[in-house]
Amino acid sequence: MTQSRRMLVLRAVVEDYIRSQEPVGSAALSKERDLGVSSATIRNDMAALEDEGYLIQPHTSAGRVPTEKGYRYFVDRLATVVPLSEAQRRGINSFLSGSVSLKDALQRSARLLSEITGQVAIVASPSLSKATLRHVELVPVAMSTLLAVVITDTGRVAQHGLTVSAMPTADDINRLSSAVNEQCNGQSLSSASETVRALGGGTGFETVREAADALADAFASMALDERANELYMSGTSHLAHSRSLTDLAPLFDALEEQVVLMKLMSNLSEEPSATGVGVSIGSESHTPELLHASVVSSGYGRSTSPVANDSERNETSPDQDSTNEPIAFVGSIGPTHMDYAATMAAVRAVARYLTFLSRKAAPATDRRLWHNNPQTNEYKGTNKWQIITRRWASTATRATTRSRRRTASSAVSITLISRDRSSRTSSRK
Between 344 and 308, whose confidence is greater?
Answer: 344
Average pLDDT value for residue range 90-116? 86
What integer pLDDT is reported at residue 209 of this predicted model?
94
pLDDT of 148 > 50? The answer is yes
Q: Give the per-residue pLDDT at 178.
A: 93
Query: Of the given ranges (94-103, 236-245, 288-297), which has the lowest mean pLDDT?
Result: 236-245
Which pLDDT band holds residue 36 (cuts at 50, 70, 90)? confident
What letters, b where the CB count within 10 A reaches 16 and e where it falls short, cover 318-333? bebbeebebbbbbbbb
Report whether pLDDT(399) > 70: no
Query: How many Cβ atoms sit within 10 Å of the Cβ of residue 305?
Result: 12
Query: Over 50: is that where the pLDDT of 105 sits?
Result: yes
Question: What mean pLDDT is predicted for residues 13-42?
Answer: 89
Q: Which amino acid is at 391?
A: R
Of residues 339 and 127, more confidently modeled? 339
Average pLDDT rounded to a whole number, residues 341-346: 92
Q: What are phi and psi of 372, to 5 degrees?
A: 50, 40
- pLDDT at 64 (0 to 100): 92
Q: What tens digit of pLDDT does each residue of 303-332 get? A: 544 444 434 444 433 334 444 578 889 999
The tens digit of pLDDT for each residue in 220-266 reads 988 887 555 688 999 988 777 665 656 677 777 888 877 788 889 88
Give the confidence band of 157 by pLDDT, cuts at 50, 70, 90: confident
The mean of the pLDDT values for the chain is 78
pLDDT for 131: 82
pLDDT tens across 42-57, in order? 999 999 999 999 999 9
Task: Give me the pLDDT at residue 393, please.
Answer: 40
Confidence band of 84 (pLDDT split at 50, 70, 90): confident
**Angle separating helix axes 68-76 and 340-359, nearest 10 degrees:** 50
Residue 358 confidence (pLDDT) above 60? yes
More confident residue, 409 or 162: 162
| pLDDT mean over 271-288 | 86
* Mean pLDDT within 146-162: 87
In this predicted structure, what is the pLDDT of residue 427? 53
Residue 285 has pLDDT above 70, yes or no: yes
